Structure 1
Amino acid sequence: MSLTMKNISFIVGMILLFLILWGAGYLAGGPEGYTGFGESADISPDDEEITFVYAHKGESAIYTAPVSGGNAELVTKAAEGNYLMNPTFSPDGEAIAYVEQWEDDDEHPLGKLMLFNHADGGVKELTDEKGLVTEAAFSPDGQSLYFSKAGVYTNYSPIASENPHDFDIYRIDLNTKEIEQITDEGAYDMSDLDLTPDGETLMYRSYDGADQLVFHDLKDGSETTVTPIGDFATGVPMIYSPALSADGKYIAFSDVARTSENGTYIYEGYRMPLDTKQAEQITSFGEHVTKPVFFNHQDKLIVTVDKAFATSSEPDYSYWVVNADGEGRERIQIEIP
């Protein structure tokens, strides 16, 4: 056999081998989708566990893990094609509320409020599939859940991307399942629901020409706004993911601490006493710090750090414990089964 015929036979053989392997699935790519931790985490009432979302090739599930790190335990999975977000512990630690979202035929998100119960491992749908629920917060007595829901998913400017808008807040009684509307604002933006320890005031972040913290009195419906004072790189606060401390005396949030050489905003964690409104920077990761959560019985917080912020199409989240005074930090090392 000539050298040319040998080369042709070799090439034909390699093509046949490639097709066989492809057909058997050995060379086919795995399922597409994000693999990694979700942005938000919550801490249990006894400060022993965190709950979070972890996605594997686009399939998301909620887990718990020790705050000290270690093996994660599966709580519940999303239905096929859906994704989970914003898990939060009930005040007694026996339930976890979260949001399950998916896309309609127009690729617009829809979302419903869900509740997992540790006692029987059951999952309940608390809202229907017609709206776009984004997050929820338990009342201090654990008898109600407050949740935010968007009225539309659109862009109000031709140069802006589509996002949820026309927000209002609702409350569901977990005993009767009755739902009542708390606000009637149709807000452009509304997020990060929280309640004061006495359960009488609802806190949330809103945007009205500038970022602001809003305190909504649940008795008379009156509202007051709070604007942090601090050394922010943008000159004015750009409040992101605010959280209220267990005693109601402090608010933690992330804001722009500086700008990188290429102009990217570097977000760090801040803590602000409500009586002075003077915010102090408490982290120095030099990355994108977000979603602070106060411990309930210790002067510490959990923050989420995204090492891939503004450098990749997919995030690279990790969870860290930081001291409230800014001294000391430790990563929560979690093993996913």
Structure 2
Amino acid sequence: MSLTIKNISFIAVIILLFLILWGTGYLAGGPEGYTGFGESADISPDDEEITFVYAHKGESAIYTAPVSGGNAELVTKADEGNYLLNPTFSPDGEKIAYVEQWETEEEHPLGKLMLLNRANGEVKELTDEEGLVTEAAFSPDGQSLYFLKAGVYTNYSPIASEQPHDFDIHRIDLNTEEIEQITDEAAYDMSDLDSTPDGEALMYRSYDGGDQLVFYNLEDGYETTVTPIGDFATGVPMIYSPVLSSDGNYIAFSDVARTSENGTYIYEGYRMDLESKQAEQITSFGEHVTKPVFFNHQDKLIVTVDKAFATSEPDYSYWVINADGEGRERIQIEIP
């Protein structure tokens, strides 16, 4: 056998061995599962802290950290095999509501609403384990939690993937823990639930032939639809993760600003004046910008940026931006 053939054979064996070891986990860096920050973050009422989800090799936990960056503090962990979503501060900052989800044997998710008392670390399950809760929002007085619950997890089209559908809004009184259903819509799509500052209405994103913002009056059930006006790459708004400002005058959301060379939508942050409905682009990351959150006492927002959008795993980071689009700074967080 020639020296060249021997060298080729040796290299082939090494490559084969590497692939076998990688596949069996010896070189894969430990157990499988996503490691990194979650998509959504929330800011405390005093603008000093953020709360977010961080996963380590698939194990999900909620942390807090200074808005200025620094060391994160563990708040609570998910039960084994479960994952946490959408943490949100109460109006007094003393509690954090979040959703804990898991998958059934049929690979359909279920989810329950959870409430953490920061003073003593006590965690309460506010809903049972039979439904699919996706997110929640506090009332301005902190006495209630409104939450979205899906009725089914299915696909209504043979070419679509299975997703939660048949949504309605529910309310739980945090003093009595009594639950009531607020709407009776069984909506195809409903997300990004928020409360107006006066507590008289709820806002959510819906889809009815196109993305739209809906304001639901809690007194009479009357709904008002709002459609942003702006320079969107798709010609019509494709609204993602809308949120109200603390004074109720503005809505921030992400939308398609342009299309990349390979055809991927590039989402940037927008801010809309609620009176004029005019939306202006306020970020220019050139990445996937999502989940804006207004500061309560400053003209700033936190946004999540995904540098690996449309790939197998996200790469989220949190940034503080000025509401006028001038200036940005990454929140550097150290996970213990």
Q: What TM-score bracket applies, with the shorter chain setting the length?
A: over 0.9
Code of the residue aligned with 1:253 in structure 2: it is F
How far apart, CA to CA, are the structure 2 residues paired with 1:244 and 1:282? 15
**CA deviation profile, 1:83-121 (whole Å, cap 9, x unmatched):** 000000000000000000000110000000000001111
Residue 272 (structure 1) aligns with: 272
Indicate whether 1:76 and 2:51 are aligned: no
Residue 334 (structure 2) aligns with: 335
Question: What is the CA-CA distance between 1:31 and the residue it aligns to?
Answer: 1.0
Question: What is the CA-CA distance between 1:27 and the residue it aligns to?
Answer: 5.8
Residue segments in structure 1 that go unaligned for 5+ positions in a row: 1-17
Code of the residue aligned with 1:223 in structure 2: it is E
Indicate whether 1:241 and 2:245 are aligned: no
What SS class does the counterpart of residue 318 from structure 1 fall into? strand
Code of the residue aligned with 2:73 in structure 1: it is E
Query: Mapping of 1:292-331 within 5 angstroms?
Result: 292-310=292-310, 312-331=311-330
| Distance of aligned partners of 1:168 and 1:120 in 2 relative to their CA distance in 1, 3 Å threshold | same
Question: What is the CA-CA distance between 1:133 and the residue it aligns to?
Answer: 0.1
**CA deviation profile, 1:143-193 (whole Å, cap 9, x unmatched):** 000000000000000000000000000000000000000010000000001
**CA deviation profile, 1:57-84 (whole Å, cap 9, x unmatched):** 0000000000000000000000000000
How far apart, CA to CA, are the structure 2 residues paired with 1:61 and 1:181? 29
How far apart, CA to CA, are the structure 2 residues paired with 1:269 and 1:184? 32
Code of the residue aligned with 2:313 in structure 1: it is E
Question: What is the CA-CA distance between 1:268 and the residue it aligns to?
Answer: 0.2
- Structure 1 moving runs of 4+ over 6 Å: none
**CA deviation profile, 1:115-153 (whole Å, cap 9, x unmatched):** 000111100000000000000000000000000000000
Indicate whether 1:93 and 2:93 are aligned: yes
Residue 51 (structure 1) aligns with: 51
| Distance of aligned partners of 1:106 and 1:300 in 2 relative to their CA distance in 1, 3 Å threshold | same
Residue 7 (structure 1) aligns with: none
Code of the residue aligned with 1:41 in structure 2: it is A
**CA deviation profile, 1:242-280 (whole Å, cap 9, x unmatched):** 000000000000000001111110000000010000000
What SS class does the counterpart of residue 268 from structure 1 fall into? strand
Query: Mapping of 1:1-337 within 5 angstroms?
Result: 30-310=30-310, 312-337=311-336
Question: What is the CA-CA distance between 1:30 and the residue it aligns to?
Answer: 1.2
Residue 5 (structure 1) aligns with: none
| Distance of aligned partners of 1:56 and 1:277 in 2 relative to their CA distance in 1, 3 Å threshold | same
TM-score by length of 2: 0.92
How far apart, CA to CA, are the structure 2 residues paired with 1:141 and 1:295? 18
Question: What is the CA-CA distance between 1:296 and the residue it aligns to?
Answer: 0.1
Residue 4 (structure 2) aligns with: none
Question: What is the CA-CA distance between 1:29 and the residue it aligns to?
Answer: 5.3
How far apart, CA to CA, are the structure 1 residues paired with 2:172 and 2:228? 31
- Aligned length in residues: 316
Code of the residue aligned with 2:271 in structure 1: it is R
How far apart, CA to CA, are the structure 2 residues paired with 1:35 and 1:120? 28
Code of the residue aligned with 2:68 in structure 1: it is S
Code of the residue aligned with 2:334 in structure 1: it is E
What SS class does the counterpart of residue 176 from structure 2 fall into? coil
How far apart, CA to CA, are the structure 2 residues paired with 1:266 and 1:70? 29
Let me know the Cα RMSD of the aligned residues: 1.5
Q: Which has the larger radius of gyration?
A: 1
Deviates more, 1:28-37 or 1:210-219: 28-37
Residue 6 (structure 1) aligns with: none
How far apart, CA to CA, are the structure 2 residues paired with 1:108 and 1:314? 20
Code of the residue aligned with 1:293 in structure 2: it is V
How far apart, CA to CA, are the structure 2 residues paired with 1:59 and 1:147? 24
What SS class does the counterpart of residue 133 from structure 2 fall into? strand
Taking every aligned residue pair, what percent have the same amino acid on both sides? 90
